[in-house]
Amino acid sequence: MVRIAAIIPAYNEEANIHRVIRDIRSQDIDIKVVVVNDCSTDSTESIVRREGETVLNLTNNLGIGGAVQTGMRFARDEGYDIALQVDGDGQHPASEIKALIEPIRNGNVDVVIGSRFLGKGDFQSSFARRIGIRIISLVNSILVGQRISDNTSGFRAFNRRAIEFLSEHYPQDYPEPVAVVELFRNGFRIAEVPVRMLEREGGESSISSISSIYYMVKVLTASLVAFTRKPVVRKDKRRS
């Protein structure tokens, strides 16, 4: 029996979080829901408790990287085989989870990224943002030697080995794109699957379109630095 945990980082998501939880519960696979409450100032915590799900409360705001890592540590300590990362804003439909964990269940890969840009559904975003996403994708794809179309996607699945790695080494500043590079550098096999994503239903995205270019420059720098970092996983321990 494969044990699966869905890690949901949440900062002030009272408008969406109950829908995200119920959506995951409505699937016919058994998934443990873990909401990481990143020091929300609204009623996110009490909503999760009312739904009867596990909530991990961070006493300080750590940002998305620190929040997801907390979930990874939970999954590691509690012995989960697969960890899902799902946004707390309702962008990621739970119906796509099956497709996301399929490659891991088959044992082909360690990490699966749900991509908006592989043909399933159409995703609208601003011009500056699309260009930024394109350039990050180009640079990261060159760095890891395989096409990664959606580096900023927060809809991902990880196997046990990746959970253990990320528990110790999760990038904090621009976690999604940098994690792609760091996972590759440490010998993890990454795959992308096409997924449908929804527009945000409430609240605000963490990246506004005005600051996308600034964001892009920072991400590219962080990716390049991550690439020059020495792998932490020893070669002989890989792919065991």
Partner 1 sequence: MSTIQIVLIAVCFVMVTFIFSMIRKRKLREEYSLLWIVGSIVMAVFVLWRDLLEILAEHLGIFYAPNVLLLIGLFFGVLMFLHLTVVVSKQADENKNLVQKIALLQNMIEELEKTCSSESS
Binding site for partner 1 (CB under 8 A): 36, 54-60, 62, 66, 69-70, 73-74, 77, 172
- Alpha helix locations (H) across 54-126? 63-77, 97-105
- CA 173 – CA 66 distance, rounded (Å): 9
Task: Give least dist CB 186 to partner 1, A.
Answer: 19
Report the DSSP pairing between strands 82-85 and 156-159: antiparallel
Least Cα distance to 227 among 162, 166, 141 occurs for 141
Tell me how far the alpha carbon of residue 163 is from its chain's centroid. 12
Which one, 59 or 106, has the nearer CB to partner 1? 59
Q: How far is the CB of 222 from partner 1 (least distance, A)?
A: 14
Minimum CB separation of residue 76 from partner 1 in Å reads: 10
Pick 37 or 140: Cβ nearer partner 1: 37
Q: Which two tokens stand for residue 20?
A: 């995200």
Minimum distance of partner 1 from residue 55's CB (angstroms): 8
- Residue 164 CA to residue 3 CA, distance in Å, equals 15
Residues counted in the chain? 240
Using alpha carbons, list the distances in angstroms from residue 88 to 154, 198, 203, 214.
10, 12, 10, 25
d(CA 184, CA 189): 7
Nearer to partner 1, 55 or 83 (CB): 55
Rank residues 43 and 57 by Cβ distance to partner 1 and give the closer one: 57
Q: Which of residues 88 and 132 has its CB atom nearest to partner 1 in the complex? A: 88
Q: From the CB of 166, what's the least distance to partner 1, in Å?
A: 12
The four Cα atoms 210, 216, 218, 220 give a dihedral, to 10 degrees, of: 180
Residue whose CB is less far from partner 1, 43 or 172: 172
Question: Least Å distance between CB 59 and partner 1?
Answer: 5
